[in-house]
Chain A
Amino acid sequence: MRWTRYVRRSWWDAERARELQAHLDIEIDEHIARGMSPDEARCAAQRKLGSVLRIREDIYAMNTIGCLDTLWRDARFGLRLLRRTPGFTAIAVLSLALGIGANAAMFQIIDAVRLRVLPVRHAEELVEVRITKPRRRAGNFFSRYAELTNLQWEQIRASQAAFAGVLAWSPTRFDLAGGGEVRRAQGIYVSGSFFEVLGVPAARGRVFTAADDRPGCATTGAVVSHAFWQREFGGDPGVVGRSVRLDGRAFDIIGVTPPTFHGVEVGRSYDVAVPICAAGVLHPEAELIEGGHVWWLSVMGRLRPGWTAERATAQLRAVSPGLFERTLSAWFDPDQAKDYLAFKLEAAPCAAGASSLREEYSTSLWLLFGLSGVVLLASCVNLANLMLARASAREREIGVRLATGASRSRIVRQLLTESVLLSAMGAAAGVILARALSRLLVTSLSTGQAPLFVDLPLDWRLLGFAVVMAAATALAFGLTPALRATSTSVQRMMKTGGRDVSVGRGRHGLQGALVVVQVALSMAIVASAVLLALSFRNLVTVDTGHRVDGVLVAELSIGRQGVPDSRLPALNRTLVDRLRATPGVDAAARTAIVPMSGMAMEDTIRVDRGGAIAEGETSFHHVGGGYFRTAGLPLVSGRDFDDRDRVDSKRVAIVNRTFASRLLATTAPAGRFFHIQTAPGNWVQYEIVGMAEDAAYRSVRESVPPVAYLAIEQVADPDREPNVLIHSRLPPSVVRSSVARTIGDLGPGISIEFSTLSEVVREATHRERLLAVLSAGFGVLALALSAIGIYGVLSYLVVRRRKEIGVRLALGATRSGIVRMVAGQSLAWLGSGLVAGGVLAVLTAMAARSMLFGLTPANPLSLVTAGVALAATGLAATIIPALRAARLHPTTALRDE
């Protein structure tokens, strides 16, 4: 009942007024009936009743819920005040929206990538089974999460005691097209128990069971994701039973997963899932199923009820020796075998799923989060200053209120309400901004090769974060000004009316200090932005050693139909010849590794150093003849591979400069020899016939390792997936179509995936580009905030010191003297702020050292650039207030009350 009264209390008040009026009327009538005059009657009646207003107030007070009412009043008053100064309100809300929005966006992404658990049943029970580091593993590594081999997985599946269920998976890509240019789908190989252990039901059809993952299975079914079903099959209700072509083989679709399931990898979404046994059918040459040296699976387990990860680790450690002994591969040499047998398994909690995204971008995301936090802080400091100025201007009003009985806490509450209103508006706008920003961030992090998928719903976590931010910022920039405004004595406020002739140091000391803090924070942000931009520029302009523009990369895959392994070498030769003859192509050559794309081959070799046999590590590159010319890699001495170098002729190699100097201690390695072990005990001799210049190998970031180039013709394995580098001066689209035509002429079963070397490099520098762009944005924001801050406080001070300036002018000060006084104040702030900010910037840079490429954290260029930018902004902001001060007329200044 109280609520209805509360909501309709003004109506009730009107009723009471009427009732009391009626009471008066009756009383007056009575008095008149007794013989009084109308006026006397009225007076007597009103005197008897007492204060009508007081009665009404009492009843009104009974109808209201005290704190709600004052809150509502404060809010309305605050809104009115804010509306009266639209400029301030707009700037405040905008800077808060940008600050809170940036923070909320970063939080959303970090939450999605790091913090949120997988949307599966009891994700906290999931652990990852992996080999304890440090570990030196030898063998072939496929996929982003190459933790275990299939043999090890089968052992774990057979004899695990710690888990209620185990699963294995491995991400991969499938080609949906049957030939010609590829069409990629994100895939996962999963064990039969995958969906069951995770507790993911089928939305349509069924999901895999243990029976689907039998060794040596023929192509069985495939489970597709909801998104893939919508995209490829248009949401066809009869999708179960339809066929999908994966890497040239047909799979029957047996089920669709619910729309909320995206796999166990955070940051990626899967399209098609096939059983692990299918890997053996699709890629038999990789020996994925039977190879004890082929690492490609990731294993997870669901703990038994009551078990902890530590207990599971203990159990795994106990079974480790036997497990690794049983799965030891003959492929390892004695040293590698010794390492292998010493491996131990462990269980690590992974409720949040696996994520290479997390590892790759972890530092970057935290850095950006930190930067956005600092921007928000700077914006709060700015606002605090402006609020201080506003509160000071209202000193008289506050004095009156205090004098007429308002409690200090009441006034502080009212001042705080304004801050809360600003924060609320800023946060609301910030949430909208955050959604757009986080989506933009994910899109820009996505690359063609690695499409990113991060689930970013509008949920209570984001809103909760925004609310907390709003409250925190309101307190941060509202509390101090509010407390300050009510702290001086009432007499002083009433007397000076906020316009003191002598400016007290204390009050304005705080504002000056805040400006210094703000300049320092902005300096740190701008310096970081410059640093990141320089780092990016360094990375992009690094000399890769070979041509990057005009090089097309064609990754081919030759289908099995009609092309047995024996035909492959001849086919590959024909391919390169035809491509060389294609109009527009200047040069073409095969290569096993696409440079700078993260692929690598390493092995130990034996070299002959002045008589003694030494062992060394080197990286390898299997290339065909003409590679160096195609890639624009200069051959310093010796010759390139040519028709002389065949399978049956002596083994030759070309080495790079680093190889020659580090492993052979020479600059003319031609004629020297080294040995590679092709089988235990069998060392094959290679003669060095040339030396190439150093070039980036696995990544532009890393220093160049020693590289031995081997002739691809002499490599034993038949290559079903040749890569061809093509150099052409024509635009890429033109070359692509003619190359596609040439390859298509050769046979229908060859699928092609095109990219260019410049794209590869750009993807590799993706992270730095993103950081540079975003931090530049933050830098601009910081500069703007500094400008506003300095301008605002300085203008306010000039207004406050009008009388003082008037007195000075009247006593003979020159206008330039006044300008110097104002500017001097600003310069003092800027100076201290820049120094403090410089220190802060260096500290920040040291914390983010891993992000920097080719730079030291205390890079002077960044500090100088940032300092100059801030000083310029600060001085620009000083001009108007200083000129305004100079243009004051002493008489008007003094007279003005």
Chain B
Amino acid sequence: MPKRGSAPLDGDVLQGTLDLLVLKTLALGPAHGHTIAHTIERQSDEILQVEYGSLYPALHRLEDRGWIASFWGTSENNRRARYYRLTPAGRRQMIQQAGRWELLVRAINHIVRPATE
């Protein structure tokens, strides 16, 4: 159920973190582009709206760097779709980026004291 309290954050703003989100999503298991987008939106309670225009280029970039690998498979409703899975290098990268993200958030939180706990 979408929360209508806050405006949805543009996926484009978090361009660098889109990679992290994709990698994290794929850590749960292989998925194709559509599913990845939906998963991100669902898991963030619709706050993050992924723009498909930047999702596919991001997937292309990640594949280029060798962090994810692709293969053709059949989707839930029996359609041919391109699936992605995390590679070992991607897993390492994901852990690294997640760690850095944690540091960043903590640093920012130190400055911007949270209004509520």
Please give the residue numbers on chain A whose beta carbons come within 8 Å of chain B beta carbons, in ascending order. 1-2, 5, 15-16, 18-20, 22-23, 25-27, 29, 48-51, 54-55, 58-59, 62
Contact = CB atoms under 8 A, between A and B. Distances in A.
A9 to B, nearest CB: 11
B56 interface: yes
Contacts of B79: 22, 25-26, 29
A49 B51 CA distance: 8
A5, A22, A23 — most chain B CB neighbours (10 Å): A23
A62 B60 contact: yes
B102 interface: no
Nearest to A1: B64
A58 B57 contact: yes
Interface in B38-89: 51-53, 56-57, 60-61, 64, 66, 75, 77, 79-82
A59 B57 contact: yes
A26 B34 CA distance: 8
Contacts of B57: 55, 58-59, 62
Contacts of A15: 82
B53 A51 contact: yes
Nearest to A56: B56
B91 interface: no
Given A22-B75, A26-B75, A62-B60, A55 B82 contact: no
A20 B53 contact: no
Contact of B56 (A5, A19, A26): A19
Contacts of A23: 32-34, 52, 81
Interface-central residue, B32, B34, B66, by most chain A CB under 10 Å: B34
Nearest to A20: B56
Contacts of B82: 15, 18-19, 22
A22 B75 CA distance: 9
A18 B77 CA distance: 17
A22 B80 contact: yes
Nearest to B52: A49
A58 B61 CA distance: 11
A58 B57 CA distance: 7
24 contacts: A5-B64, A16-B56, A18-B80, A19-B56, A20-B56, A22-B32, A22-B79, A23-B32, A23-B34, A23-B52, A25-B79, A26-B34, A26-B79, A27-B34, A29-B77, A29-B79, A54-B53, A55-B52, A55-B53, A55-B56, A58-B53, A58-B57, A59-B60, A62-B61
Contact of A26 (B51, B53, B81): B81
A50 B51 contact: yes
Contacts of B53: 49-51, 54-55, 58
Nearest to A15: B82
Interface residues of B, number: 18
A627 B85 CA distance: 106
B75 A48 contact: no
Contacts of B80: 18, 22
Nearest to B77: A29
Given A26-B34, A26-B75, A62-B64, A50 B81 contact: no
Contacts of B51: 50
Q: Main secondary structure on chain A at its contact with chain B?
A: helix
A50 B52 contact: yes
Contacts of B64: 1-2, 5, 62
Nearest to B60: A59
Contact of B81 (A2, A5, A22, A55): A22
Interface of B: 32-34, 51-53, 56-57, 60-61, 64, 66, 75, 77, 79-82
B57 to A, nearest CB: 5
Contacts of A19: 33, 56, 81-82
Given A26-B77, A55-B52, 7 more contacts: A5-B64, A19-B82, A22-B80, A23-B32, A26-B79, A51-B53, A55-B53
Nearest to B33: A23
Contacts of A25: 79
Contacts of A50: 51-53
B113 to A, nearest CB: 38
Contacts of B52: 23, 48-50, 55
Nearest to A19: B82
Contacts of B33: 19, 23
B22 to A, nearest CB: 15
Give the top 4 A-B pairs by smallest Cβ distance, nearest first.
Answer: A19-B82, A22-B81, A50-B53, A26-B34
A64 to B, nearest CB: 13
A49 B34 CA distance: 10
B25 to A, nearest CB: 15
For B51, B52, B64, B66, the residue with the greatest tally of chain A CB atoms inside 10 Å of its CB is B52
A29 B75 CA distance: 11
Nearest to B80: A22
B23 to A, nearest CB: 18
A23 B80 CA distance: 9
Contacts of A20: 56
A508 B66 CA distance: 59
A778 to B, nearest CB: 57
Most buried by B among A5, A18, A22, A50: A22
B109 to A, nearest CB: 34
A59 B52 CA distance: 13
Nearest to B56: A55
A55 B51 CA distance: 11
Contacts of A1: 64, 66
Contacts of A18: 80, 82
Contacts of A54: 53
Contacts of B75: 22, 26
Contacts of A59: 56-57, 60
A402 to B, nearest CB: 29
A375 B79 CA distance: 69
B50 to A, nearest CB: 10
A835 B12 CA distance: 71
Contacts of A55: 52-53, 56-57
A23 B36 CA distance: 11
Contacts of B66: 1
A714 B82 CA distance: 111
Nearest to A27: B34
A708 B21 CA distance: 110
Contacts of A2: 64
Contacts of A26: 32, 34, 75, 77, 79, 81
Contacts of B34: 23, 26-27
A49 B53 CA distance: 7
A2 B32 CA distance: 23
A156 to B, nearest CB: 72
A1 B80 CA distance: 26
Nearest to B55: A55
B96 to A, nearest CB: 20
A50 B11 CA distance: 14
Nearest to B51: A50
A6 to B, nearest CB: 11
Contacts of B61: 62
